Amino acid sequence: MGPGFGVRLVVTDLDHTLIENPSQIPAAGEALRRLADRGLVTVLASSKTFAEMEDLQRQAGLPPQPFIFENGGGIGWPLGQGPLGQGPLSQWPAQTAGEAAGAPALVQGAYGAIAAAGDLTKLGAILAELASGGGFRFRRFDELPLETISTLTGLDPRLAALARQRLTSLPLLWDDSSEQLARMRQALAGRGLAAVSGGRFVHVGPPCDKATALTRVRQWLGGQAALGGMLACGDSDNDRGLLEAADIALVFSCGQRPPLPLSRPCTVVPAGGPGPWLAAVEAALESSQGGATA
């Protein structure tokens, strides 16, 4: 690979990495445009829903570009381009059964959602069966009143409504014991489903991760974004795959808990948000270029 790993692609998590709160979205857009001016492709990868991500890309003033939603459960792609351009999705490489459906699972604004996996109707039926048969106590996030979601997440009602629009996974508000959660995990695993704890919610859906979704995005982008080096930014366990796979890894840590441990060299950035994020990315790009020519 060329000097400085030839970084062509920057992939980043959102919460506690690129942004600390929604008011920082316009500044995040500015930071991403700065990198685009340098010829870099940027991809946002988040646990947020397709609807939230489409809204965010628009609020940030970004031109249409692919993104990863629901922790890799799906990919948002600009309509009329790449896999959502001419011809069916199945002409594109490495499709899954869900992708091969040939049409986006949802269209919003300039984007179509390509769901890698997940059938929410089926998932809902399994959860209902476990609630009645297994006696598990939980509430589905997508069935909570908007005021409850706002109280639990700090999102305003408009954003809470976007967060409720699930496509591939369902967060549950867990009202039961940790022993019951272990039993629930086993029951779900027997049905090919995973339950991942994150804050106050347990996310249930088909096993997926951001790194697998990014591999697909790179194949579909082709060219330099597929072949060049990659810089990844993240803060949590759900970013681990991306960080481990990158040529340069930036781990963001707000200081309240120790930085995510990785089995590879990385740079720890002591604060998230667009300012610290851009400074850290630009410093990493420069030092990797300097290191390669020294």
* Separation in Å, CA 149 to CA 153, 159, 161, 162: 6, 10, 9, 11
Minimum distance from residue 147 beta carbon to Mg ion (Å): 25
Of 55-63, 70-78, 164-172, 229-237: span binding Mg ion (CB under 5 A): 229-237
Structure tokens, 121:
């109707």
Q: Which is nearer to Mg ion, 32 or 130 (CB)?
A: 32
To which H or E segment does residue 178 belong? helix 178-189
253 binds Mg ion, rule: CB under 5 A: no
Among 15, 176, 244, 247, binds Mg ion (CB under 5 A): 15
Task: Pick between residue 99 and residue 235 the one whose CB is nearest to Mg ion.
Answer: 235
Side chain identity, residue 224: Q
Q: Which is nearer to Mg ion, 15 or 176 (by Cβ)?
A: 15
Q: Can you tell me the distance from the alpha carbon of 15 to that of 20, in angstroms, rounded to the nearest whole number?
A: 6
Closest to Mg ion by CB, 46 vs 95, is 46
Closest C-alpha among 200, 225, 159, 152 to residue 25: 159
Tell which one of 57, 108, 169, 236 touches Mg ion (CB under 5 A).
Answer: 236
**Member of 13, 20, 99, 209 binding Mg ion (CB under 5 A):** 13
Does 235 engage in binding with Mg ion (CB under 5 A)? yes
48 closest CA partner among 1, 99, 113, 98: 113
Q: In the complex, which residues of this chain contact Mg ion (CB under 5 A)?
A: 13, 15-16, 235-236
